Amino acid sequence: MDIFEALFTRRSIRSFTAEGVSEEDLDMVLRAAMAAPSAHNSQPWHFVVVRDEEVRKAVAARHPYAKMAADAPVVIVVCANPAECKEEGFWQQDCSAALENILLAARGKNLGTVWCGMHPMEDRVEPVREILGIPAGINILGLVVMGHPAQPFRKVDRYKAEKIHFDRW
């Protein structure tokens, strides 16, 4: 798929078919995640891939806006190990770049995704940490719910010329 087709038709998909995600597609999506840029190329990301239905249901029950995690075949929780960062304060940006790559790579494979935010909401982070056994000291950015879409990928154009400031604000 053309990269611009993927970019402009990536939508948050919140309803999924029962079809599973192939190992090959999952592998490609995770490879895309780790192809992201990161500060000092430190690549501090870690990914918890949740396929177990009971665990997905437990996550869905504890995140106020991720109910679809119960129904989609895969949930990827994007984490960072701050000990792998070369400078403080960039892990959110590193992990966001990786997470966006997941969304776009999935679109390239005709898989639907939705980014469900967690950091900095402790009431979303801590229950998921507990359910998945993510150690204290590992940061959790958010999660991606992924599967075959049961809704169309609509194209949107959010271009606003007034958002662009040439040479100075």
What is the binding site for ligand FMN (CB under 6 A)? 11-12, 14, 65-66, 114-117
In 3D, which of 154, 118, 158 has the Cα closest to residue 14? 154
Taking the least distance from each CB to ligand FMN, the nearer of 82 and 117 is: 117
Taking the least distance from each CB to ligand FMN, the nearer of 3 and 27 is: 3
Taking the least distance from each CB to ligand FMN, the nearer of 32 and 95 is: 95
Determine the residue type at 53: E
Coil, strand or helix at 16: strand
In 3D, which of 114, 92, 111, 116 has the Cα closest to residue 149? 111
Residue 65 CB, nearest approach to ligand FMN (Å): 3
Q: How far apart are CA 118 and CA 76, in angstroms?
A: 12
Find all residues with CB under 8 Å of 169, minimum gap 6, and list them. none
- Tokens (6 digits) for 130: 């507990």
Residue 114 CB, nearest approach to ligand FMN (Å): 5
Residue 88 CB, nearest approach to ligand FMN (Å): 21
Taking the least distance from each CB to ligand FMN, the nearer of 37 and 120 is: 120
Taking the least distance from each CB to ligand FMN, the nearer of 14 and 56 is: 14
Residue 13 CB, nearest approach to ligand FMN (Å): 8
Residue 95 CB, nearest approach to ligand FMN (Å): 11
Closest-CB residue for ligand FMN? 117
Are 134 and 48 contacting, i.e. CB atoms less than 8 angstroms apart?
A: yes
β pairing state of 45-50 and 139-147: unpaired
